Structure 1
Amino acid sequence: MLARFDIAPDQIDRVVAVFYAAIRRHEVLGPVFARHVTDWPEHEEKIARFWRKAILYEPVYDGNPMRVHMAAGDVRPEHFAQWLALFDETLRRTLPPEPAAGWSALAHRIGRGLRMGVEDLRSPQPGPPVLR
């Protein structure tokens, strides 16, 4: 299976490292992550495996990001826009334009799904879901 876009595993590792260095300095997101991440190198390796699976289709990640974000309890829907803005900035600074754009589109698609899950958890609608 071909990768979603042209990128090497070491580039994924670099983006993840640069991004999480920025997260730790971020005034809103930094404290949220600090409450949940106790081992930054381990977290970064896990997230790099997530992206290698999502982009390169390597079978190296087995987790459930939706469950993790929903279980955290302090992840808010508005955090995703800030996370994506910081991630896009990291991609633009770290990668050539084409892989940066491809990865950004994928991150935004994943982010929309996670944000919707968190929104649903925060404001459940009464009754059964409307499926049409």
Structure 2
Amino acid sequence: MTAAERREAVTNRIIEETGIDEAMIERLVQAFYGKVRQDPVLGPVFEAQVKDWDLHLQRMCAFWSSVALLTGRYHGRPMEKHLNLPVDHRHFDHWLALFRETANEVCPPAAAHHFVERAERIAESLELGIAGFHGHVLMKGERLQRPDSEVHLPETSRPEGVEVGE
């Protein structure tokens, strides 16, 4: 069996076990990023980076197709795009909570579990990569905690009397 045949067999098994297909991936991506754009914590971070939302959503569909179904549709370098984002563990926790919520709303349980399991690994990898890029070595179980002045947080989540940039 060739590598392509093995990949196709694994993809078919995932589809059979979870019900995930390209249409479900698109529904999940559209619903999730619709929420992200309205979110007071994540929305401004994404809006500052994403110039063409149609293109971004197409890329995210290809990314999740590659992650969830091993299709190989995505050919990017996600770590590089995230290294300079003004985020820390609070953003990753919030991103995961919103992703879990959306996956559970849009997908049947087996598919939601499959997506969320991968999202958790992606979040952990990105958090570790961003931490290392900024000179923080995280030990097992540690999280990236940056000063509020280095991350984007909505005004309502800042302690009383703390101004942006302090």
State the 1:113 CA deviation: 0.6
Which AA in structure 1 matches 2:131? E
The structure whose RCO (Cα within 8 Å, separation 6+) is larger is 1
Deviations 1:26-81 (A, max 9, x none): 001000000001111110110110011111121211111111100x3423332111
1:90 pairs, out of 102, 106, 120, with 102
Does 2:91 match 1:79? yes
* Contact 1:77 1:119 (C-alpha < 8 Å) held by counterparts: no
Give, in whole Å, the separation in 2 of the partners of 1:121 and 1:78: 18
After TM superposition, list the pairs within 5 Å mapping 1:65-76 onto structure 2: 65-70=78-83, 72-76=84-88
Q: Percent identity?
A: 35
* Contact 1:69 1:75 (C-alpha < 8 Å) held by counterparts: no
Paired residue for 1:63?
76
TM-score when scaled to structure 2? 0.70
Paired residue for 2:42?
29
Which AA in structure 2 matches 1:120? G
The runs of at least 4 consecutive aligned structure 1 residues that moved more than 6 Å come to none
Give, in whole Å, the separation in 1 of the partners of 2:106 and 2:19: 14
Paired residue for 2:131?
119
CA RMSD of aligned residues (A): 1.4
Paired residue for 1:128?
none
TM-score when scaled to structure 1? 0.87
* Contact 1:66 1:117 (C-alpha < 8 Å) held by counterparts: yes
* Contact 2:45 2:85 (C-alpha < 8 Å) held by counterparts: no
Give, in whole Å, the separation in 2 of the partners of 1:118 and 1:42: 24
Give, in whole Å, the separation in 2 of the partners of 1:41 and 1:97: 28
Aligned length: 124
Does 2:60 match 1:47? yes
State the 1:124 CA deviation: 3.7
Paired residue for 1:18?
31
Considering fraction of residues, name the structure with more helix.
Answer: 1
